[in-house]
Structure formats: structure tokens, C-alpha cells
Amino acid sequence: MGRRKLDENRKRKKISTTINDDLWKLLGEYADEHGKIKTKMLEKWIADGLSNKDVIEKLKNEGIILPDSEL
């Protein structure tokens, strides 16, 4: 039996970005201290931020996200 593949709508969307090396190391230390995985922590922080209407409004005001985006 082969591996069940997810259709395009069920796949995680990947975000490509660059992060400062020192900040990435510091985040790794923080994750280790708290028994977490740093990428999972980042995903949660981003999801929490995007569910906050004040954060979305600030991102729109700063021109970081488009006003008509579906976040």
C-alpha cells in the first residue's frame, strides 16, 4: 500500500523567508528550554497574530499585507 498523498487544498502552504542567524540561534535556545520545536512555535505565533484583528489592521496600515487579502 502506497503513501496517501494530500490534495493541493489539504497541503500546508510553505512560507519562504530569511531570518537573522543570531535570532534563529536565540529562538532555538528558547525552543530547547521550553521543549518546543522552533518552527512549530513560529507557526503558532504567526497563526495567533493573524487571528488578532488589531495585528491585521496594523499590517494593513503598514502596507505589509494587502487590504483585500483573505487572511
pLDDT surpasses 70 at 71: no
Backbone angles phi, psi at 55, to 5 degrees: -65, -45
Domain spans, the chain:
37-71
The more confidently predicted of residues 12 and 42 is: 42
55 or 66, greater pLDDT: 55
